[in-house]
């Protein structure tokens, strides 16, 4: 039985658990801070007061992560050509998903024992590999499990709160496991969610294996008070398609992406932003987040290169991200930093 299945069998959360947090072997459950007024602690906002005054000359261009995953290098050597973009996402999704479903404490123990054995027997190659594995696992334990930096439910709730929408239609472009759309659906009950990703592995594994028992803190539509929501309570359709082929009209209240803009070089950024605009109602909200350019993130992507760097990747700060969004014809309503991402809420101008 996998660690996630065990978690599903034994744990169910309810309103009594609100204001608590708990560490499972794979991730943190965090039901703290249902009060709107407290959410400001989890986001630093209003860094820029007038986007029209900002220029690329002042703020510089994003930082490009150059360390590439071993699997990609091997594929390219074998095929004597550069890896196609879709293949690079397929490699990324399979590699990244493995980490979300780990029993981290058990694997740490196992790796430590193996390393001790190799040290005793003086196996230099295995020692080097074992140390590298342990460093990655410890980093993952800290960033994802202890700090909850990747899912960051409190930061996301702070970013998403207060939108003027009822029973929204939500489109998530490059949805992977769909976490942020589920958080939005919990906060805005009655939501209709469409997750789009062209890698079917995301529908069949990343989303399908996202824990049924993971509690999303949201709103009770009957009382307006807090309520715990689960994936199975939500109205979610998963579409496996290239976002460039979508045929929707301007029908969505929210178009969302998380970690997409930084994966295309500058000449394609406008095209990506246009795909967000294309399906938005005139009153609809664009929501985007991208990883922050900070020293610890640069280090993280260097250490985790074999796990995560199959694709082109940049790190940017909120000014750089905002300027792309502003120059593409959006008005920025809220912007700021959450734990490891920049976040923006905008409307078309």
Q: Which of 155, 168, 174, 322 binds ligand SAM (CB under 6 A)?
A: 174
Residues 6+ apart with CB under 8 A from 122: none
The CB-of-316 to ligand SAM minimum distance in angstroms stands at 14
The CB-of-12 to ligand SAM minimum distance in angstroms stands at 25
Stretch near ligand SAM under the rule CB under 6 A, chosen from 105-113, 207-215, 241-249, 314-322: 241-249
Stretch near ligand SAM under the rule CB under 6 A, chosen from 4-12, 38-46, 136-144, 254-262: 254-262
The CB-of-174 to ligand SAM minimum distance in angstroms stands at 3
Number of shown-chain residues binding ligand SAM (CB under 6 A): 16
Establish if 202 lies at the interface with ligand SAM (CB under 6 A). Answer: yes
Residues numbered 81-140 forming contacts with ligand SAM, rule: CB under 6 A: 89, 93, 96
**DSSP label at residue 316:** B
The answer to whether the beta carbons of residues 338 and 292 sit under 8 Å apart is: no
Question: Residue for token digits 């940017």?
Answer: 316
Stretch near ligand SAM under the rule CB under 6 A, chosen from 33-41, 122-130, 194-202, 292-300: 194-202
Question: Which residue, among 290, 253, 283, has the nearest Cα to 269 in the 3D structure?
Answer: 290
Q: Which of 71, 197, 293, 314 binds ligand SAM (CB under 6 A)?
A: 197
Stretch near ligand SAM under the rule CB under 6 A, chosen from 103-111, 226-234, 238-246, 335-343: 238-246
| Nearer of residues 34 and 259 to ligand SAM, judged by Cβ | 259
The CB-of-210 to ligand SAM minimum distance in angstroms stands at 10
**Distance from C-alpha of 266 to C-alpha of 269, rounded to nearest angstrom:** 5
| Nearer of residues 184 and 258 to ligand SAM, judged by Cβ | 258
The answer to whether the beta carbons of residues 149 and 143 sit under 8 Å apart is: yes
Establish if 258 lies at the interface with ligand SAM (CB under 6 A). Answer: yes
The CB-of-181 to ligand SAM minimum distance in angstroms stands at 10
How, if at all, do strands 330-337 and 341-348 pair?
Answer: antiparallel
Residues 6+ apart with CB under 8 A from 66: none
Buried/exposed code over 295-316 (b: 16+ C-beta within 10 A; e: otherwise):
eebeebbebbbbbbbbbebbbb
The CB-of-199 to ligand SAM minimum distance in angstroms stands at 4
Instruction: For residue 237, give the 3-state DSSP assignment.
Output: strand
Q: Which residues pair with 330 in a beta bridge?
A: 348
Residues 6+ apart with CB under 8 A from 12: 213
Q: Which of 23, 34, 259, 294 binds ligand SAM (CB under 6 A)?
A: 259
φ and ψ of 317, to 5 deg: -95, 175
**Distance from C-alpha of 159 to C-alpha of 187, rounded to nearest angstrom:** 12
**Distance from C-alpha of 36 to C-alpha of 175, rounded to nearest angstrom:** 26
The answer to whether the beta carbons of residues 229 and 235 sit under 8 Å apart is: no
The CB-of-317 to ligand SAM minimum distance in angstroms stands at 18
The CB-of-64 to ligand SAM minimum distance in angstroms stands at 16
Q: Which residues bind ligand SAM (CB under 6 A)?
A: 89, 93, 96, 174, 176, 196-199, 202, 242-244, 258-260
């Amino acid at each position: 039985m996998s660690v996630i299945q065990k978690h599903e069998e034994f744990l169910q959360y309810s309103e009594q658990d609100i204001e608590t947090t708990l560490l499972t072997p794979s991730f943190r459950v965090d039901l703290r801070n249902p009060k709107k007024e407290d959410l400001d602690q989890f986001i630093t906002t209003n860094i820029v007061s007038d986007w029209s005054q900002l220029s690329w000359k002042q703020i510089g261009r994003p930082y490009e992560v150059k360390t590439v995953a071993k699997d990609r290098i091997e594929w390219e050597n074998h095929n004597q050509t550069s890896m196609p973009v879709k293949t690079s996402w397929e490699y990324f999704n399979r590699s990244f998903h493995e980490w979300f479903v780990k029993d981290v404490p058990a694997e740490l123990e196992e790796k430590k024992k193996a390393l001790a054995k190799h040290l005793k027997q003086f196996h230099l190659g295995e020692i080097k590999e074992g140390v590298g594995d342990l460093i990655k696992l410890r980093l993952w334990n800290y960033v994802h499990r202890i700090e909850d930096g990747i899912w960051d439910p409190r930061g996301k709730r702070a970013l998403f709160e207060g939108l003027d929408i009822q029973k929204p239609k939500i489109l998530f472009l490059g949805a992977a496991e769909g976490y942020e759309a589920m958080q939005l659906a919990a906060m805005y009950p009655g939501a209709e969610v469409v997750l789009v990703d062209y890698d079917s592995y995301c529908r069949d594994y990343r989303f399908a294996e996202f824990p049924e028992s993971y509690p999303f803190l949201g709103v009770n539509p009957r009382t307006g008070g807090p309520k715990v929501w689960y994936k199975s309570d939500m109205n979610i359709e998963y579409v496996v398609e290239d976002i460039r082929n979508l045929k929707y009209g301007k029908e969505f209240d929210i178009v969302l992406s998380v970690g997409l803009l930084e994966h295309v070089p500058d000449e394609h950024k406008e095209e990506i932003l246009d795909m967000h605009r294309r399906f938005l109602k005139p009153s609809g909200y664009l929501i985007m987040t991208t990883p922050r350019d900070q020293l610890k993130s640069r280090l993280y992507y260097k250490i985790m290169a074999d796990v995560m760097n199959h694709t082109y990747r940049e790190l940017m700060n909120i000014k750089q991200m905002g300027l792309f969004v502003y120059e593409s014809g959006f008005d920025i309503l809220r912007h700021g930093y959450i734990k490891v991402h920049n976040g923006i809420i905008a409307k078309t101008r």
